[in-house]
């Protein structure tokens, strides 16, 4: 296990930003941190990177405690802070070289910087001052910086914010690539990103972990109702659909489409009804419960508890 | 630590601060030494650099505060401090790197004044008839003074994330430590303690060294003040963890 977090808490006065969370992360895994604003994602990351100490609890990174051995931990971690702070009056290469020197890359620094510049797609902008770059390119500089020293653990706080769709795909692939033999923890509030990149998701709300599972399992959780979309070639009498047992409600959508909420999978019955009444059925599909819905139910649930 | 030091120097050089500070310093000192009536060497009639060494501490109060005001304040404001503190660097390394970079800038501003020394040396009659020992001592004193001001400036910068507040706090503390104690002792309010109070002021020690006598007690005073303020900076800087 490269990261072990045990009962980690951070209190600001009476507010519990992070409330006794525990989880583990192993190498070769991209772990997604998901949560609404102010859930405690960034605070957890700040504690793992030894920027702020926890109020109570401990965590270890590759066997080094964040409390007793912060320097060792920082050597192993690559970190992209939330708002991606950069020295705007430095040149891209100058900045990356500086960061490489801090990590003691020595003579290999120059080669490694060029490598990272091409990896994150910075080559056309590499001669500029950081302050002159657009937001997306600044983000790439931040990413390059975090991966410079080949860290064993990569902690990225909203890595794809400010990037355009093409860049997002590039960066996602890069992160996945790195995640193959390292530990990557990233936070985001974009669901598709989690589905696209992460092997495992931790949903966190009001400082507590509300779900911790593999990405594909999380989508399967607690299906209470089935949503079926049917499309017909001509106008039909919706009353006929209502008669099918299991249908709870029907909403008409444009172009003769209907959205049925049912308590079981009734696609077969619909097909039968359509055939019998000559309804000219064109499409029939079961909507899978999306991660968005899981997220909504899980985070709302804890809101009620509190 | 060396890499942060180099980065600080580079940022001084690339952000004009270094040039402005050095030019303003040389201009102010040059005007007092050669132009302004009542202060200049010619009016004085003696081949010495007293006007330089009596004005420099005052000019330094402004300039060194200006050099150091951004060192921590800006990093705190722009958030780059989070970047720096999550790298394998200790708090001491960061504080010292910033401190030494400021000291180097102070040295750079002092070096060109050697031209003034050479000029006075050539002007004196007979040539070379000036108290080189006292001038050497004054330079050493001025360097220590700059080093103390720089540590005060770093401290002021660590206290706040606002550069203007940092600048003003630093100027106040520099002035206070430079002269306030010796002024206080001039009131003769505390009897035998007056000498002790006077001892706390930088001016007393600066003047001692300026005579050309580098006394270990004066050096010890300067070094202790520097250590106290750097330790204070490190503590304030580390207070994010409290």
A104 with A139, same domain: the answer is yes
> Closest chain A residue to B15 measured between Cα atoms?
A89
- CATH number at A180 reads 3.40.50.300
- B22-73 pLDDT tens trace: 899 999 999 988 888 878 888 877 878 888 888 899 999 999 999 999 889 9
pLDDT at residue A29 in the model: 85
Mean pLDDT, each 10-residue run in order, chain A (306 residues): 87 86 87 84 89 89 88 89 88 91 86 88 88 87 89 88 80 83 85 82 86 75 71 80 79 83 80 82 76 71 54
Which one-letter DSSP state was computed for residue B187?
T
A270 with A170, same domain: the answer is no
pLDDT at residue A206 in the model: 84
pLDDT at residue A306 in the model: 47
**Chosen domain end from A161, A187, A216:** A216
Instruction: Give the integer Cα–Cα distance in Å for A225 and A248.
Output: 9
Query: Of A91, A92, A87, A109, whose CA–CA distance to A100 is shortest?
Result: A109
**How close B60 gets to chain A, by Cα (Å)?**
26
Q: Which residues fall within 8 angstroms of residue A272, CB to CB, at 6 or more apart?
A: none
Using an 8 Å CB-CB cutoff, list chain B residues near A105.
none
pLDDT at residue A304 in the model: 54
A263 with A167, same domain: the answer is no
Q: What is the complex's ipTM, to 2 decimals? A: 0.83
A34 with A131, same domain: the answer is yes
Q: Is B13 on the interface with A (CB under 8 A)?
A: no
Using an 8 Å CB-CB cutoff, list chain B residues near A103.
87-88
- B84-109 pLDDT tens trace: 888 998 899 999 999 999 999 999 88
Q: Is residue A150 part of a domain?
A: yes
Q: Do A103 and B240 touch (CB under 8 A)?
A: no
**How close A50 gets to chain B, by Cα (Å)?**
6
Q: Is residue A47 part of a domain?
A: yes
**Chosen domain end from A190, A216, A242:** A216
Instruction: Give the integer Cα–Cα distance in Å for A77 and B111.
Output: 43
pLDDT at residue A305 in the model: 52
For residue A238, report the phi and psi dihedrals to the nearest 5 degrees: -65, -20
A140 with A232, same domain: the answer is no
Q: Do A98 and B80 touch (CB under 8 A)?
A: no
**How close B1 gets to chain A, by Cα (Å)?**
8
Q: Do A51 and B85 touch (CB under 8 A)?
A: yes
Q: Is residue A195 part of a domain?
A: yes
A185 with A129, same domain: the answer is yes
* Residue A110 CB neighbour total at 10 angstroms: 14
Whether residue A89 has a cis bond before it, omega within 30° of 0 = no
* Banded pLDDT at B222 (limits 50, 70, 90): very high
| Among the partner residues B80, B81, B88, nearest to A103 by beta-carbon distance | B88
pLDDT > 90 in chain B, percent:
38
Q: Is A138 on the interface with B (CB under 8 A)?
A: no
Q: Report domain extents, chain B.
A: 2-241
Q: What average pLDDT does the structure give for chain B?
A: 89
* More confident: A224 or B130: B130
Q: Is A77 on the interface with B (CB under 8 A)?
A: yes
Q: Is A279 on the interface with B (CB under 8 A)?
A: no
**How close A217 gets to chain B, by Cα (Å)?**
34
Number of domains observed in the structure of chain A? 2
Query: What are the CB-based long-range contacts (under 8 Å, 24+) for A39-44?
Result: A39/A204, A39/A205, A39/A206, A39/A207, A39/A299, A40/A10, A40/A204, A40/A206, A40/A207, A41/A157, A41/A187, A41/A204, A42/A82, A42/A157, A42/A187, A43/A10, A43/A17, A43/A18, A44/A5, A44/A8, A44/A10, A44/A18, A44/A204
Q: Is residue A187 part of a domain?
A: yes
A146 with A41, same domain: the answer is yes
pLDDT at residue B232 in the model: 95
Q: Which residues fall within 8 angstroms of residue A177, CB to CB, at 6 or more apart?
A: none
**How close B228 gets to chain A, by Cα (Å)?**
25
Describe the strand order of the beta sheet including A226-232 as a list of residue ranges. A247-253, A257-262, A226-232, A281-287
β-strand pairing of A3-12 with A15-25: antiparallel
Using an 8 Å CB-CB cutoff, list chain B residues near A94.
10
- CATH number at A262 reads 3.30.70.100
Q: Is A86 on the interface with B (CB under 8 A)?
A: yes
**Rg over CA atoms, chain B:** 19
Q: Which structural domain range is residue A259 located in? A: 226-288
Q: Is residue A221 part of a domain?
A: no
DSSP of chain A, one letter per residue?
--EEEEEEEEEETTEEEEEEEEEEE-TTEEEEEE-STTSSHHHHHHHHTTSS--SEEEEEETTEETTT-HHHHHHHEEEE-TT----TTSBHHHHHHHHHHHTT-GGGHHHHHHHHHHHTT-GGGTTSBGGGS-HHHHHHHHHHHHHTT--SEEEEESTTTT--HHHHHHHHHHHHHHHTTSEEEEEES-HHHHHHH-SEEEEEETTEEEEEEEHHHHHHTT---EEEEEEESS---HHHHHHSTTEEEEEEETTTEEEEEESS--HHHHHHHHHHTT--EEEEEEEPPPHHHHHHHHHHHHHHH-
C-alpha distance across the termini of chain A, in Å: 33
Q: Is A259 on the interface with B (CB under 8 A)?
A: no
């Amino acid at each position: 296990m490269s990261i072990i977090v045990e009962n980690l808490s951070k209190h600001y006065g009476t507010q519990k930003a992070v409330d006794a969370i525990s989880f583990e992360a192993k190498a070769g895994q991209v772990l997604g941190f998901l949560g609404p604003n102010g859930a405690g994602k960034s605070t957890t990351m700040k504690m793992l990177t030894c920027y702020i100490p926890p109020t109570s609890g401990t965590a270890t990174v590759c066997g080094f405690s964040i409390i007793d051995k912060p320097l060792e931990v920082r050597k192993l971690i690559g970190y992209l802070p939330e708002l991606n702070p950069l020295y705007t009056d430095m040149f891209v290469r100058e900045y990356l070289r500086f960061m490489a020197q801090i990590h003691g890359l020595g003579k290999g620094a120059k080669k490694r910087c060029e490598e990272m510049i091409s990896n994150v797609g910075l080559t056309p902008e590499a001669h500029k001052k950081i302050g002159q770059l657009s937001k997306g390119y600044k983000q790439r500089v931040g990413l390059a910086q975090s991966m410079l020293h080949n860290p064993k653990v990569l902690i990225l706080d909203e890595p794809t914010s400010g990037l355009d769709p093409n860049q997002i795909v590039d960066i996602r692939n890069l992160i996945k690539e790195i995640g193959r033999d390292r530990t990557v923890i990233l936070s985001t509030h974009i669901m598709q990103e989690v589905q696209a990149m992460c092997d495992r998701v931790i949903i966190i709300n009001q400082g507590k972990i509300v779900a911790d599972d593999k990405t594909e399992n999380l989508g399967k959780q607690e299906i209470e109702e089935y949503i079926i979309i049917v499309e017909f070639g001509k106008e039909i009498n919706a009353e006929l659909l209502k008669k099918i047992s299991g249908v709870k409600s029907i909403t008409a959508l444009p172009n003769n489409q209907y959205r049925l909420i049912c308590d079981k999978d009734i696609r077969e019955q619909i097909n039968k009804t359509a055939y019998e009444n000559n309804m000219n059925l064109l499409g029939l599909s079961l909507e899978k419960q999306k991660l968005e819905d899981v997220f909504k139910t899980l985070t709302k649930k804890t809101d009620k508890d509190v | 630590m060396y890499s942060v030091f180099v980065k600080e120097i580079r940022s001084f050089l690339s952000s004009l601060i270094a040039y402005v500070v050095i030019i303003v310093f040389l201009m102010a000192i040059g005007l007092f030494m050669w132009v302004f009536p009542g202060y200049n060497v010619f009016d004085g009639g003696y081949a010495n650099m007293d006007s330089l060494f009596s004005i420099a501490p005052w000019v330094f109060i402004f300039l060194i505060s200006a050099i150091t005001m951004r060192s921590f304040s800006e990093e705190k404001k722009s958030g780059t401090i989070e970047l720096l503190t999550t790298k394998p660097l200790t708090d001491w390394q960061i504080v010292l790197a910033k401190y030494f970079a400021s000291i180097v800038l102070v040295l750079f501003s002092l070096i060109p004044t050697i031209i003034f020394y050479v000029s006075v040396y050539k002007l004196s009659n007979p040539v070379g008839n000036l108290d080189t020992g006292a001038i050497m001592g004054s330079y050493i004193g001025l360097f220590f003074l700059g080093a103390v001001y720089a540590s005060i400036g770093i401290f002021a910068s660590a206290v706040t994330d606002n550069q203007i507040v940092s600048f003003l706090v630093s100027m106040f503390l520099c002035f206070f430590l430079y002269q306030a104690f010796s002024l206080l002792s001039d009131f003769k309010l505390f009897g035998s303690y007056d000498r002790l109070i006077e001892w706390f002021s930088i001016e007393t020690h600066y003047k001692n060294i300026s005579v050309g006598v580098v006394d270990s007690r004066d050096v010890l005073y300067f070094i202790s003040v520097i250590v106290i303020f750097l330790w204070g900076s490190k503590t304030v800087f580390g207070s994010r963890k409290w």
